[in-house]
Chains A and B, each alone.
Chain A
Amino acid sequence: MWRQYLLSLLLIPAGAAWCLADDAAQPQQFQHQITGLFAQERVQDLRELFKTLPQFKLVDVDFETAEATIAYDPAKAFPNAKANQVVEQFDNLLRNASKHTFGVKPLCTLDSARLKLVEIQVIGLDCKGCCLGAYDAIYRLKGVEYATASFKVGKVTARIDPEKIDRTELETALKQRGVQLQAAE
Chain B
Amino acid sequence: MPLFRVRAVCGDLPDFVRCLSMTHLPPIIACLLFVAAGEAQTDPQVFFEAHCLECHDAHARKGGLDLSALGVEFTKAENFGRWVKVYDRLMSGEMPPPKQPQPSPADRAALTTWLRGSLVQAERQKVAGDVRTGIRRLTRAEYENTIRDLFDMPGIALAGELPADGSAHGFDKNSDALDISHVNLAKYLEAAEHVLSVAVAIQPQPPTVKTQRISLANPHGFVAHVLLHGDGVLLKNKQPDPDFPPAAEQMHIDQGAHERIGAFHNGASVGLFRHEDESFHPYFNEFVAIYPARYRLRTSLWSFQWDKGRVLPARGIEAARLSIVQLTGDGRGGGHPSTVLTYFDAPSLQEQTHEIVAWLNASETIGFNAASLVGGHTRGKSRAMGFTGPGIACDWLEVEGPLYDAWPPASHRRLFADLPLVEFKKSDQPGVRPPPREPFRQRIFMGKNTADPVAGTWTVASRDPQADADRLLTAFLPRAFRRPVPAEVKQAYVEKVAERLQSGDCFEAAMRWAYRAALCAPEFLYHVEGQRDPAAATATQAPSQAAAEIDDYALASRLSYFLWNSLPDDRLFELAATGTLHAPDVLHAEVERLLGDARSQRFIDDFLGQWLKLRQIATNDPDRKLYPEFRPYLQDSMVAETRAYFRELIEQNLNARYLVQSDFAMLNEKIAVHYGIPGVNGSKIRRVALPPDSPRGPFLTQAAILKITANGTTTSPVPRGAFVMDRLLGQPPDPPPANVAAVEPDVRGATTIREQLAKHRDNAICAACHARIDPPGFALESFDVIGGFRTRYRSIGTGDPAPRGSIDPFISIDFKLGPAVDPSGVLPDKKTFSDVRELQSLLAADSSRLLQNLAERLAIYATGRELLFSDREDIAAIVAATMTRGGGIRTLIHELTRSRLFQTR
Q: Hey, which chain B residues are within 8 Å of A133, CB to CB?
A: 252-254, 256-258
Which of A122-179 touch B at CB < 8 Å?
123-130, 132-134, 136-137, 177-179
CB distance from A39 to the nearest CB of B (A): 11
Q: A129 touching B244 by the CB < 8 A rule?
A: yes
Q: A125 touching B250 by the CB < 8 A rule?
A: yes
Which of B18-52 touch A at CB < 8 Å?
none
Which of A89-119 touch B at CB < 8 Å?
98-101
Q: With A and B bound together, what is the CA distance between A182 and B243 in angstroms? A: 23
A180 CB-CB contact with B under 8 Å: yes
Q: B244 touching A132 by the CB < 8 A rule?
A: no
Q: Hey, which chain B residues are within 8 Å of A179, CB to CB?
A: 253
Cβ-closest chain A residue relative to B244 = A127
B584 CB-CB contact with A under 8 Å: no
Cβ-closest chain B residue relative to A101 = B260
B261 CB-CB contact with A under 8 Å: yes
CB distance from B387 to the nearest CB of A (A): 16
Q: Hey, which chain A residues are within 8 Å of B247, CB to CB?
A: 125
Q: B262 touching A99 by the CB < 8 A rule?
A: yes
Q: B260 touching A100 by the CB < 8 A rule?
A: yes
Q: A178 touching B243 by the CB < 8 A rule?
A: no
B434 CB-CB contact with A under 8 Å: no
Q: With A and B bound together, what is the CA distance between A130 and B262 in angstroms? A: 12
Q: B248 touching A125 by the CB < 8 A rule?
A: yes
Cβ-closest chain B residue relative to A174 = B253
Q: B250 touching A129 by the CB < 8 A rule?
A: no
Q: B261 touching A101 by the CB < 8 A rule?
A: yes
Q: B253 touching A134 by the CB < 8 A rule?
A: yes
Known A-B contacts A130-B252, A177-B253, A180-B250; A125 and B258 likewise in contact (beta carbons under 8 Å): no
Q: With A and B bound together, what is the CA distance between A129 and B254 in angstroms? A: 8
Q: B245 touching A126 by the CB < 8 A rule?
A: yes
Q: B262 touching A124 by the CB < 8 A rule?
A: no
Q: A178 touching B254 by the CB < 8 A rule?
A: yes
Q: B254 touching A177 by the CB < 8 A rule?
A: yes
Which of B485-535 touch A at CB < 8 Å?
none
CB distance from B249 to the nearest CB of A (A): 8
B263 CB-CB contact with A under 8 Å: yes
Q: A127 touching B260 by the CB < 8 A rule?
A: no
CB distance from B844 to the nearest CB of A (A): 63
Q: Which of B243, B245, B251, B260 contacts A99 (CB 8 A)?
A: B260
Q: Hey, which chain A residues are within 8 Å of B253, CB to CB?
A: 124, 130, 133-134, 177-179
Q: Which of B243, B250, B251, B260 contacts A132 (CB 8 A)?
A: B260
Q: Hey, which chain A residues are within 8 Å of B254, CB to CB?
A: 129-130, 132-134, 136-137, 177-178
Q: With A and B bound together, what is the CA distance between A134 and B250 in angstroms? A: 13
CB distance from B309 to the nearest CB of A (A): 12
> Which range contains the number of A residues in contact with the other chain?
20 to 34
Q: A129 touching B263 by the CB < 8 A rule?
A: yes
Interface digits, B224-259 against A, CB 8 Å rule (1 contact, 0 not)? 000000000000000000011101101111101111
CB distance from B379 to the nearest CB of A (A): 14
Cβ-closest chain B residue relative to A134 = B253
Q: Hey, which chain A residues are within 8 Å of B261, CB to CB?
A: 99, 101, 128-129, 132
> Which range contains the number of B residues in contact with the other chain?
10 to 19
Q: With A and B bound together, what is the CA distance between A177 and B257 in angstroms? A: 11
Cβ-closest chain B residue relative to A178 = B253
Q: Hey, which chain A residues are within 8 Å of B260, CB to CB?
A: 98-101, 129, 132
Cβ-closest chain B residue relative to A128 = B261
Q: Hey, which chain A residues are within 8 Å of B256, CB to CB?
A: 133
Q: B263 touching A128 by the CB < 8 A rule?
A: yes
CB distance from A139 to the nearest CB of B (A): 12
Q: Hey, which chain A residues are within 8 Å of B248, CB to CB?
A: 125
Q: With A and B bound together, what is the CA distance between A133 and B261 in angstroms? A: 10
Q: With A and B bound together, what is the CA distance between A124 and B248 in angstroms? A: 9
CB distance from B836 to the nearest CB of A (A): 55
Known A-B contacts A101-B261, A133-B258; A128 and B243 likewise in contact (beta carbons under 8 Å): yes
Cβ-closest chain B residue relative to A95 = B260
Q: With A and B bound together, what is the CA distance between A101 and B409 in angstroms? A: 44
Which of A127, A128, A129, A133 counts the most B-chain CB atoms under 10 A from its CB? A129
Q: B245 touching A129 by the CB < 8 A rule?
A: no
Q: With A and B bound together, what is the CA distance between A124 and B251 in angstroms? A: 7
Q: B252 touching A127 by the CB < 8 A rule?
A: yes
CB distance from B44 to the nearest CB of A (A): 88
Q: Hey, which chain A residues are within 8 Å of B259, CB to CB?
A: 99, 129
CB distance from B378 to the nearest CB of A (A): 16
Cβ-closest chain B residue relative to A100 = B260
Q: Hey, which chain B residues are within 8 Å of A124, CB to CB?
A: 250, 253
Q: Hey, which chain B residues are within 8 Å of A123, CB to CB?
A: 250
CB distance from B381 to the nearest CB of A (A): 13
CB distance from A60 to the nearest CB of B (A): 24
Q: B257 touching A132 by the CB < 8 A rule?
A: yes
Q: Hey, which chain A residues are within 8 Å of B258, CB to CB?
A: 127, 129-130, 132-133
CB distance from B457 to the nearest CB of A (A): 33
Q: Hey, which chain B residues are within 8 Å of A134, CB to CB?
A: 253-254
Cβ-closest chain B residue relative to A42 = B261
Q: With A and B bound together, what is the CA distance between A126 and B256 in angstroms? A: 17
Which of B257, B258, B259 counts the most A-chain CB atoms under 10 A from its CB? B257
CB distance from B796 to the nearest CB of A (A): 38
Give 14 new A-B contacts, CB below 8 A, not counting A129-B257, A132-B260: A99-B259, A99-B261, A99-B262, A123-B250, A124-B250, A127-B252, A128-B261, A129-B259, A129-B263, A133-B254, A133-B256, A133-B258, A134-B253, A136-B254
Question: What are the 7 closest A-B residue pairs judged by CB atoms, nearest first?
Answer: A133-B254, A129-B258, A133-B257, A178-B253, A132-B257, A129-B263, A99-B260
Which A residues have a C-beta under 8 Å from some C-beta of B? 98-101, 123-130, 132-134, 136-137, 177-180
Q: Can you list 23 residue pairs at the A/B interface with Cβ under 8 Å?
A: A99-B261, A99-B262, A101-B261, A124-B250, A124-B253, A125-B245, A125-B248, A126-B245, A127-B243, A127-B245, A128-B263, A129-B254, A129-B258, A129-B260, A129-B261, A130-B253, A130-B258, A132-B254, A132-B258, A133-B253, A134-B253, A134-B254, A136-B254
